[in-house]
Structure 1
Amino acid sequence: MPTVHEPSAMSLYLSMSVNGAPLANGTGVVVGHSGKFWLVTAGHNITGRDAVTGELISQRTGAWPDAVAIRHTWMGQLGQWTDRVVPLFKDGQPIWLQHPSGPVVDVVAVPLLELDTVATIYAVNLDAPGLAELAVPDEVSIVGYPFNITSGEGFPVWTRGTIATELDFDHDELPMFLVDSRTRTGQSGAPVFWYSSHGMIPVRGGWKLNDGQNPPLTLLGIYSGRTDQHSDLGRVFKMSAVREVIEHGKPPDGVSPIEA
């Protein structure tokens, strides 16, 4: 039976739309916390606005997405997929949560309220401690869909990167760090993993052997995009930001979908 590494099942292809018309594609991951599940992705995937400037990403439509289709594994059959459409508004009000600091922290959480047995959820447990203790310039993987490319049977593409800024400090006064990696359009919202197929786990000052109780996997954050179009430096919002969104975030005010 073919081997599928766990992050390949966790990284999800997203299609944003308004009134059924396609707008954009991106990447996301499901996070579990206190018995609930959330689709976590870059905020600009859901708002259609640049997180820094607030400007429209698509000048052609000027639309907020009103739905996101999540490509889940179908009934536990890895390599077979089902698209689950999640409305982003209820009674005209947005349902996603943004960071308490606002959209400048480019991470949102969309509650997944109607799970069923058709879509199998491979979630990251927010309550489980990360195994790896990483630092500059350790290697990480951005697992997503650059240029909407999928690998065999629809799985994501792994892009290698290295941690480019000190993790104990927030870059640009935001809960994020930078990675040095050749990422591209479509990877926004991708989970950034440290993952080992050989079971060795990096710790401060060396390595240790995994005790076998947990997979050698740590989710470090959510990829947001490059610092500018000419740079190979990308922004990754830390898991502390994800936790703050889920635990303390609120839906944005004054948001409604615009006709395409």
Structure 2
Amino acid sequence: MTKKISLLSIYSLHLELLKGGKKIGDGTGFIYLHQKSKKKFLITNYHVLTCRDPKEPARLLHGYPDSPDEIIFYMPSRPTYEPKPGSIKIDAESKWFEHRRRSDGVDIVAIPIDFPGDAAVLTQDQLPLVEDIDLEVGSNLFVIGFPWGFSAGDYYPIWKKGTVASEPLFKPNGLSKFYIDAYTHPGMSGSPVFAAEWRNLVEVDKNTHDSMQMYEQGKINIDELLDKVNLPSSGKTFSKQFFRLIGIYSGRVASGKNDPNVGIVWQRILIDELFTDPVIVQHPYPPIVVT
């Protein structure tokens, strides 16, 4: 079987946060297609975009001198797929989509974005994803991002494996989030999170594959399918890992001086709600302009 680079590795984007041309931090983001408008947005955390707590935006996060005035992102370019930088300027006129419950801590934003002319823009609908992976306590997952800004080969993200650590159906404080057991680090905030599941498959010929698709589409009945299929008695089986986009990572749980090693994932439904129940805001605490 031919080996190739996973599209999920290309999906995660490294974000560099700048103030006055100096780097002040790292983050992760990804491009999300709004199905109705067909517009593409950069998705990341509120605290990555502003370096501020979504519950208390007047307060800068510890260690940051100000909100960033520019975010540099890196995308693959055609035809070589080498990384090329793009830029988002941030000032008093900047606007974005945030969640209606941002003040309750929902740490997600959607930012309008212009892409470099030769960018290979990858959105969630172009990924080889499935929707039938059950999400439950103990489910395997991957957080794909850039810990401390670190990457493989100066571009590809790091896959951090973890498990679902709380009941996904339970909504802490009425919010669609759950906790994960994963060894994550700063710089991974804003990473897409994927549930993962290995499945055993059987290799079939093209005629059998096409016939099964026709059956699923209701074009032939079961008797016609059985007449057409050609499953060898010793059909070749193989294992393949499948993925489902389940949400966005936004850092670790803070508990005073104690670190429970638990991360936070906001569920994907909240990303969709940015567009179905839109709240468009202008930067409430823009970066200080130094002249």
Conserved 8 A contact 2:24-2:64: no
| Corresponding residue SS for 1:251 | strand
SS of match in other structure, 1:216: strand
Relative to structure 1, the CA distance from residue 198 to residue 10 in structure 2 (aligned partners, 3 Å threshold; closer, same or farther) is farther
In structure 1, the residue matched to 2:93 is 93
Aligned counterparts, 1:230-241, within 5 A: 230-241=259-270
How far 1:20 moved relative to its partner?
Answer: 2.4
Q: Distance in 1 between matches of 2:116 and 2:196?
A: 29
Q: Which residue of 2 aligns with 1:72?
A: 75
> What is the CA-CA distance between 1:83 and the residue it aligns to?
0.8
Query: Which moves more between the two structures, 93-102 or 50-59?
Result: 50-59
Letter in 2 for 1:255: Y
- Runs of 4 or more off by more than 6 Å in structure 1? none
Number of residues of Structure 1 aligned to a counterpart in Structure 2: 243
- Cα deviations by residue, 1:123-157 (Å, 9 ceiling, x for unpaired): 1139x973422211100000001121111352000
**TM-score when scaled to structure 1?**
0.83
**Could you report, residue by residue, the CA deviation over 1:72-107 in whole angstroms, capped at 9, with x for unpaired residues?**
0111534x1001002234xx3222211111242101
SS in 2 for 1:192: strand
Structure 2 distance, partners of 1:170, 1:125, is: 27
Q: How far, CA to CA, are the matches of 1:101 and 1:71 in structure 2?
A: 30
Post-superposition CA distance 1:170-210 (Å, at most 9, x none): 1232221111111111110111012457577xxxxxxxxxx
SS state at 1:119 partner: coil
Question: Structure 1: which 5+ runs fail to align?
Answer: 201-210
1:250 matched residue in structure 2: 280
Pairing 1:222–2:252 present: no
Q: 1:183 to 1:60 in 2, by over 3 A?
A: closer
AA in 2 matched with 1:96: W
Normalising by structure 2, report the TM-score: 0.75
Equivalent-residue separation in structure 1 for 2:101 and 2:21 (angstroms): 31
d(CA) in 2 for partners of 1:36, 1:186: 26
SS at match of 1:159: strand
Change (3 A) 1:197 1:136: closer
Higher strand share: 1
State the match for 1:157 in structure 2.
158
